[in-house]
Amino acid sequence: MTLSVSCYLYWLIFKCMVKVVKVVFLANSFWYLKNFRSSSLERFSEFSDTTCMAPETGGVDIESCSLGKCRQIYLDPTSVNPLKEAVSVLSILVRFLIERPKVVFSFNPKTNLYCLVVCWLLRIPCVPNVSGVGVASQLDGVKGKIYRFSSGFFYRRASHVFFQNFDDYDAFVKLGWIDPKNAEVIPGSGVDLNKFQPSRKADKKFRFLMASRLIRPKGVVEYLQAARQVVGDGLDCEFILAGVKDDSDRVINDQEISALCDSSKINYVGHVEDMPHLLESIDCVVLPSYYPEGVPRSLIEAAASGKIIITTDSPGCREVVESGKNGILINAQSVPQLSEAMKYLVRLSGNRIQTMKSFSRNLAETRFDEEIVIQRYLRVAKSVAGCSSFVFENPSE
């Protein structure tokens, strides 16, 4: 019997002897968990009883999420109705009473806050991931005061807090919402460097891509308006828009998209499942977002695939660009700056374009490897769940 087989058998025996720990991953949609947390879920499932919880929104329901053990909760991500919010908290409370998790990992602003409330009541360790401060932070009046007071009270009681960028981390520290000793910044959700790799294009046509939720704060309209300007100037390039609609009142309707995509060089392709394949034909990924971002997944996938990036000089977005080296930073909602950045890239020499693409890949390898994120989560789970006997890695590897 080889050493690796022996180690693997001992590992299996040890797993059977220790108590199975229940871990919950909770977000505002199964779509989010499927697209951004599937690798972490797979790793946690190797040693724990892992459950996904989310409402059925975002185009992925509980039957098709393919994430293993899933449980539905009630939550309207965009609601500010007090009655609906009370029902949401109660829904999470009931689920946690049934599942009795040892530790909860939460994502998205509203689900973070509600998980913190329920976990505080039930004395369950909760580890929220702050991926942007969310639109609720922009509320005025009584609702805004309640949100800010609640956030400060409950975030201070989190077992640990993950941030995706230093802007949000610094803001929470300044507000006194967190203890810096129980918080850290991680590289977004990370990216699978094997799945997203540079590839040689089949042609020399310069192509831009924007891939995001089709809501206004992501800068979809600005992208299409800038594309129309570049096409109107006669430059030899193409533009692709990919993305999904959600239930938000900020969503852009089909009629508006069709009106802006009135050129054969500007194409809307809808939802794309195979992003690595689409990225093979792309030179530059654009995200002119003015939405409260963590670190946009589309940008770190672009970097891993060796693409040039144009994005806004705003929290989260700027994390993936070293301006002039692998991309260009622009002001939010500035169509003129965006169109000029596009024209600049189209006119670059082939060698300069390749240099910028290589820098993107190197940046992804050193800063955004998803293994960094997974290991941070495993370490925190081991710490806050109080189970030092956890086996976190397969010893045969």
- Alpha helices per DSSP H over the chain: 3-17, 30-36, 38-45, 82-99, 109-122, 141-155, 166-175, 220-232, 254-260, 275-279, 297-304, 335-346, 350-367, 370-384
> Mind listing the pLDDT tens digit for each residue in 235-268?
999 999 999 887 677 889 888 999 999 889 999 9
pLDDT recorded at residue 393: 43
The Cα 5–Cα 20 span in angstroms is 23
Domains with residue ranges and CATH for the chain: 3-190+369-384 (3.40.50.2000), 206-367 (3.40.50.2000)
Which residues 6+ apart lie within 8 Å of 116 measured at CB?
A: 106, 126, 128, 154, 155, 157, 158
Percent of residues, the chain, with pLDDT higher than 70: 87
Task: Pick the closest to residue 261 from 330, 210, 310 (CA basis).
Answer: 210
Tens-digit pLDDT profile for residues 349-380: 999 999 999 999 999 999 999 999 999 999 99
H or E segment and range at residue 241: strand 237-242
Nearest to 302 by CA among 286, 323, 316: 286
Does the pLDDT value for residue 210 go beyond 90? yes
Which pLDDT score, from 0 to 100, does residue 42 have?
Answer: 92
